[in-house]
Structure 1
Amino acid sequence: MAGSVRAGAAADRASRARRHLGPAGRHPFAHAERLLGRPLEIRDVQELVRRYLAAFGPASARDMQA
């Protein structure tokens, strides 16, 4: 049952992503807030930077400002 619930949730996210991509999926991106259906919550900027660096390795101050 849990697997089917997760699969259903993933299918729902994919369906929402297709709707937000526009006609024939011509847009190369979708806004995260529209895709998720809720505003993004950035609680701790330092934690966000730590997670970014852990995932993508060394980065400059300019990378963090982008």
Structure 2
Amino acid sequence: MGNTIEVKFISVDNANKLIPQIRKYSGESISKVKKQIENQLPVLTWDYLKTPEKLQDLLDTIKSFEKI
């Protein structure tokens, strides 16, 4: 796992607003994403050696959190 970038939230006021953007990138279920946020687990994971083409998707998803 040394070639991955993981994104997690330390403090969130309203996790429900983040779930649609996370699911759009990850494809995970609502309950799984909510549990990951609540337990401060990574909600987005990207292996930059296996899928370098997904970098822009990851960046777009992260930027979408700033608008919430």
> Do they superpose with TM above 0.5?
no
More helix per residue: 1 or 2? 1
Give the TM-score normalised by structure 2: 0.28
TM-score (norm 1): 0.29
Whose strand fraction is larger, Structure 1's or Structure 2's? Answer: 2
